[in-house]
Chain A
Amino acid sequence: AQTIHQWPVAEIKAVGSPLSLGCTIKGKSSPNLYWYWQATGGTLQQLFYSITVGQVESVVQLNLSASRPKDDQFILSTEKLLLSHSGFYLCAWSLGDWGGDAEQFFGPGTRLTVL
């Protein structure tokens, strides 16, 4: 069975500090991967997507970057956190048709608080 794991579960970071969030998909070969951001009580905003190792496309610029170093791994990072980065970060995967035309399966998320 496929599983999606995100780490860490939660982070409290200072403004200006670096950040790295991770996502791993097990049990699926060559999934399409996505990063989403959700403000507390808000909707989801897609940030990045990747259909293959080493290739990442940006949807929204929020002073964040993403990388896909392995087929089953997706990393979200920034060198300097802003207060506006606080929220819930979600990783998702799909197979076949990519983007919104495919069923996407979300991970448990990482709660980020920037102080």
Chain B
Amino acid sequence: SQLAEENSWALSVHEGESVTVNCSYKTSITALQWYRQKSGKGPAQLILIRSNEREKRNGRLRATLDTSSQSSSLSITATRCEDTAVYFCASSNSGTYQRFGTGTKLQVVP
């Protein structure tokens, strides 16, 4: 899991398995975004979930948001080797700057 200001984790799964990346934040938010960054590239936005939403999906991706526990998760089903990347969550409050987590490195092996 990753915290807005703390250490990252690394995960390794086999292709076809499901995986969940967790994120928690410390202040109230209006939105939280999940990004994927492949080595040497800019981040790609995956899902934006607003504080009044509990779940959002994008293909094989599913993000949840629990404002009571100040946490979010990103689940990937049927993982593929191309899902190998660093996954970041980023929180914001009323359009102020985004605070990025430290990232979770996911490796999907054949």
Contacts and interface: CB of A to CB of B under 8 A. Distances in A.
Contacts, number: 65
A107 B96 contact: no
A42 B44 CA distance: 16
A50 B94 CA distance: 16
A101 B42 contact: no
Contacts of A97: 95
A100 B88 contact: no
A49 B90 CA distance: 16
B43 A103 contact: no
A101 B92 contact: yes
A109 B101 CA distance: 19
A91 B33 CA distance: 17
B31 interface: yes
A59 B42 contact: no
A59 B97 contact: yes
Interface in B77-103: 88, 90-103
Interface residues of B, number: 25
Interface in A81-107: 90, 92, 97-107
B105 to A, nearest CB: 9
Residue with the highest number of chain A CB atoms closer than 10 Å, among B95, B97, B99, B100: B97
A100 B42 CA distance: 17
Contact of A109 (B41, B95, B102, B103): B41
Nearest to B50: A101
B70 interface: no
Nearest to B98: A100
A62 interface: no
Contact of B41 (A43, A45, A92, A108): A108
B88 A46 contact: no
Given A98-B95, A101-B50, A107 B100 contact: no
A97 B90 CA distance: 16
A26 B53 CA distance: 32
Given A100-B93, A100-B99, 6 more contacts: A46-B98, A90-B42, A101-B95, A103-B48, A104-B45, A109-B41
Interface of A: 42-46, 49, 59, 90, 92, 97-109
